[in-house]
Chain A
Amino acid sequence: MTVGFVSRDLVETREPARTLVELSDLTKTYGPTCANDRVSLTIARGEIIGLVGGNGAGKSTLMRMLSGETAPDSGTITFSGKQPAAGGRYHAGEAQSRGIRIVHQELSLCDNLTVAENFYLEAPEGANGMPGWRGIYRDRARAALEAVFPNAGVNVDEQVSNLSIAVRQMVEIARALTAPGAEIVILDEPTSSLALDRSQQLRAYLRRRAAEGLAFIFISHKLHEIMDVASRVVVMRNGRVVWEGETGEASVARLVSLMGGDASLKARREREAAPETGPGRPMVRLTGRMRENKSDEIILHAGEIVGLAGLEGSGQRDLLHGIFSGSRDAGVALERGVTASFVSGDRQREGVFPLWNVLENISVTRIAGCSGLSLVNRREEIAAAMPAAERIRLDTGRFRSGILDLSGGNQQKALVARALACDAPVILLDDPTRGVDVAAKQDFYAVVAEIARAGRLVIWYSTEDLEFLECDRVLVFSHGRINRELTGDAIGEKAIVDASFERAGDGKEGAARTAQQTHSRAAERLVESAPFVSLAVVLAAMAWANPTSLSPFGLDLLLSPALSLVLVALGQMFIIGGSEIDLGAGAFAGVINVLSATILVGQPGLGVLSIAALLVIYAGLGALIQARRIPAIVVTLGASFIWLGIGYTLQPTPGGSSPEWLTAIFSVSFPLVPTSIVFILVTGLIAWFVNRTPVGVALRAFGNNPQAMARGGWSPIRYATIRYLFSGLFILAAGLSLTAINTASDINSGNSYTLLSVAAVVIGGCSLFGGRISPVGVVAGAITLSLIGALLGMLNVNSDYNAAVQGLLLLVILAFRALVARGGEDE
């Protein structure tokens, strides 16, 4: 095997000056599947290459190799006119520096950031000139959007999550196309959500930039767009380039047949030769919501293969899941006793159990149907799986192999065997042949036909229109409804495409989402205002219970214990921003409390040194968690024992004293305003400011979309370390404040802050799933929690109940939020 990365100053090609990069004989295999088989491609300046091919043809693999995300097994990538960078091996960073940019099919924006901040992530080097760095990116974003999509009117200060899918795609495209240093831009299905006029604007822009010398690779299933914009077309099929030529020599029809239209047609003819039987008994009725005309009912029978067609995301999957769960509100009614089993093409996420062997993967559905304590017997298991496996020609000798050792096609067979091994008469297929090679696909089609003949109902959603030729009946979806029903000879690619687009009227796509969006925005506002409302309520209750508590002196007295919690909570906020939780936060504050009240008093030098050492260890935990991908909860819980242990060793019983300078700092008095309020405001401001610096933006981006960040060349380990460092600094300050305020130390003084800090962050409106951070809310939440203790005291409630009240409050808020956001996040 030769993996080479060569760079030559002069390349002997037809037009040496224009060639940018030459891919030759690139091969990449994944297990038994050859994703790319000796693929060669030359990309020259000023070209727009239209790259087409069916799903699994190898386009994405080729592009990932070009952009350095995947290393080829063999073959070379040769750049012309530039010296190779040091280090030899070709990787994503190298591709980036050579001007390769990619617009991913799955969007890589961080939706918790503004449009302008997302532009920063693409090209961070412009932010050197602090402050005012935002202005640079705001201007850049505005200019980029205006250049590519004139008059789009996108607000660059809007958070991406508030934008429609179409606008997000526009931002993503504009960001990659205008990135400084871009030479070759790969656009993977860029127009899938764009309205027609925006797509035209994009194509016009591409032509203009190509004339200036940029090169583009345009991947799309919309063949008429390829014909419109490309200067050259490359057709891939089964991991090979099967045709390459000027656009003038191609036509949509020709491209379709090159992509592999014929093969499936043949299969269909074979199938039709099979003996026809009458319709079986009815099994599923589709009513109401699914139909434009509500009285129309579609009845699906046993023995049928029913295809669900239409543009991706038009409601086909909703129907499958509706049938699976038997829920009536999806417009589905199952006949009595009818159950369904589900076979997903997204095997990794929805199909296989990676720790199990093939046999266990097959039997899971049958076994899950039994009552919990019924016994599992190996012999019975094999006996039940054997007929199913034999029927679909899955090698039963491989029952004991790990499921992941099988090829994609065989894994798929195992999943079908799982469905067959139980008695469910309806089999739901969710794009089942994704990532399966062509030979295995033909095999699979035959299996499906046989299953239907044996009397089951097969409902088949596919993203490959050609697969519908295998069906007896096709329901074409558009905007969540069944728009057309095709049967027999009427089933054809053209008819399906026509019906999918019939009501499409490109622009409407955004409208369907707005209702859902206004709902989520109202919920968001509710979450945002929660900390301030609860703070106001608590303050009002205190004023009612004891009017003097709101005097400047009273406030100072009440709020000075709150400062430490505010600091720990702000530290916790950074960790939760990375969707982790620090269970050692309170203990860390405690150990700093002890250190600063003992060693720091007697030997300031050693004290500073040891505190710094602890901080380094704390930040190191972040790196360890990230590098080994281990759960932060257990690591920080383990660390909490280390902090407590150190504290006990230094000071077995409470005691110590505060260094004079520390006491002095915390007892500075300000005119008019109570000291504690000033301190709380200052710490809140610092956290707010950190959050808005470029580093803070990057941290939030990691919390939201770590995969996209890693793809963009950001180092996860470095930012995990920085995250824990920031957090550690805030908690360190909390420990010092404990020393100064109590003028003594106790290793247990911080313990209660662990839960309270999590609660404060949650009340403060931050998401436990990372990325959404609100320093001001956290400060308000922390003050509220800390005042609740004082309020209970005023109301003569025993302080023993504090923990219960605070714990219940946290649960109530979380439960309430779960109800508000119902249906939002799923696992």
Chain B
Amino acid sequence: MEVTLRGLVSLMHGLLFGGFFLMAVSGVVVELCRSAYAKEAPELTPRGYRLESIYLVVTVALGWAAVLSGAYLVYPWYRAALPAGVVDLAGYPQRLLLSKATTAGWHTLGMEWKEHVAWFSPMAITMVAYVLVKYRGTIGQHPEVKRAVLAFAMVALLAAGIAGFWGATIDEVAPAQGGRMVMLMGSAK
């Protein structure tokens, strides 16, 4: 079972970091929405608060891993300059998309939106995690803070959703492929 290095790194960026980040942020949003309608502020045991903090730290780490791996590993492959004389655009996704009017929008709208809006997610969720950990158990006493935290968590989810949608569809139309082959399981036989 082999895959190209670029394909594997793209998978890690989109599915491992991005996908798990989306799921984790969804959990944060659901929990914040649920607690907004709770009759009493839910209190956790010390171990519960520790686990909640770990969950939030992992969520933040996934968000940063997704944007950093995207910007510094996958994106350079996507926007690689076309060497003189090369006519096969398969290894140059951005050039491939821009080569036809029917596919240019995937870059001019999709990638250009995704590459910037994605950064909102880790910034927003870092703030959310900080506030939730700092005000653990007492955030109910600050309804305005709670409202802002929920709004920013929703924006983190929305931004990650936009980035994930465009990333997945662009990868479908013009995948970042190439590099050496990586054996995931089994042998090369």
Pairing of A with B: no
Interface of B with A (CB < 8 Å)? Answer: none
